[in-house]
């Protein structure tokens, strides 16, 4: 069946995603030596000017000023905090599958979700700690995150078994992934941290692909 072929191609994480995770974990260490603020050009270097000012050229042997490194902003912090909670719920849902799912493809999909998102949660937590940010929103995540299952939906999933579980799991996880894609696309517009941008791009692409696979599996069950 089409769904079985699609589900067989699920991968744990792309190399780019792993690289992004490594950067997130180590990208802002207090032990790293500070970068020099100036450099000596060995060849002509075009140095951008400030907004509204023309660029200048630093000749060989002259000293130039390094532009400031990109830093994170409030959108990056909110995304990382929210994605920790978002991923944690996906892992919670995935852990229900081994004892409740009837379809082998559903169990495989759930296993992949847990295998990918559990390590990401730890790295996202490290990103916040290394930047001295709170692990959770001080307002207690007062706003609703896209795709999150409600307590009632989680209880229904916990109570379901066999075919009922399979269909409800896929329905909730598709919505959950769509929410993660939406959140990732938003931070790619509003955020400034390169590592967060890269991971968000990987989440967006990877979960969009998994949505297609889950829809195939759900269609095959009907």
Residue 109 is part of a domain; what is its CATH number?
Answer: 1.20.1260.10
- Classify residue 54: in a domain, yes or no: no
Does residue 103 belong to any structural domain of this protein? yes
Residue 56: inside a domain, yes or no?
no
Domain span at residue 164 reads 12-28+71-221
Q: What is the C-alpha separation between 107 and 122, in angstroms, rounded?
A: 23
Helices in the chain by DSSP H: which ranges? 2-8, 15-26, 74-94, 97-100, 104-130, 151-159, 162-190, 194-221
CA 205 to chain centroid, in Å, comes to 10
Number of domains in the chain: 1
Count of C-beta atoms within a 10 Å radius of residue 62: 12
How would you write the pLDDT of the chain (222 residues) with one tens digit per residue? 444 433 333 334 444 444 555 556 555 444 445 556 777 877 777 766 655 667 778 788 888 776 655 589 999 999 999 999 999 999 999 999 999 999 999 999 999 999 999 999 999 999 999 999 999 876 555 457 899 999 999 999 999 999 999 999 999 999 999 999 999 999 999 999 999 999 999 999 999 999 999 999 999 998
Buried b (16+ CB within 10 A) or exposed e, 18-39: eebbebbbebbeeeeeeeeeee
7, part of any domain: no
In this structure, is residue 157 part of a structural domain? yes
- Residue 58 tokens read as 């630093």
């Amino acid at each position: 069946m089409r769904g079985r072929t699609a589900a067989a191609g699920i991968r744990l994480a792309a190399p780019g995603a792993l690289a992004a995770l490594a950067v997130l974990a180590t990208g802002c260490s207090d032990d790293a030596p500070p970068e020099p603020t100036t450099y000596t050009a060995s060849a002509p270097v075009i140095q951008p000017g400030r907004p509204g000012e023309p660029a200048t050229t630093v000749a060989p042997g002259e000293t130039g000023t390094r532009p400031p490194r990109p830093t994170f902003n409030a959108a990056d912090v909110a995304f990382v905090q929210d994605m920790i909670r978002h991923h944690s719920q996906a892992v919670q849902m995935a852990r229900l599958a081994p004892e409740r799912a009837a379809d082998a493809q559903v169990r495989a999909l759930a296993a992949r979700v847990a295998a990918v998102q559990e390590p990401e949660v730890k790295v996202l937590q490290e990103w916040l700690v290394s930047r001295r940010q709170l692990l959770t929103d001080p307002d207690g995540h007062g706003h609703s995150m896209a795709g999150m299952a409600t307590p009632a939906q989680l209880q229904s999933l916990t109570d379901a078994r066999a075919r009922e579980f399979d269909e409800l799991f896929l329905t909730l996880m598709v919505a959950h992934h769509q929410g993660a894609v939406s959140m990732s696309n938003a931070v790619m517009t509003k955020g400034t941290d390169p590592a967060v941008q890269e991971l968000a791009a990987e989440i967006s692409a990877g979960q969009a692909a998994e949505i297609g696979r889950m829809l195939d599996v759900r269609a095959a069950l009907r």
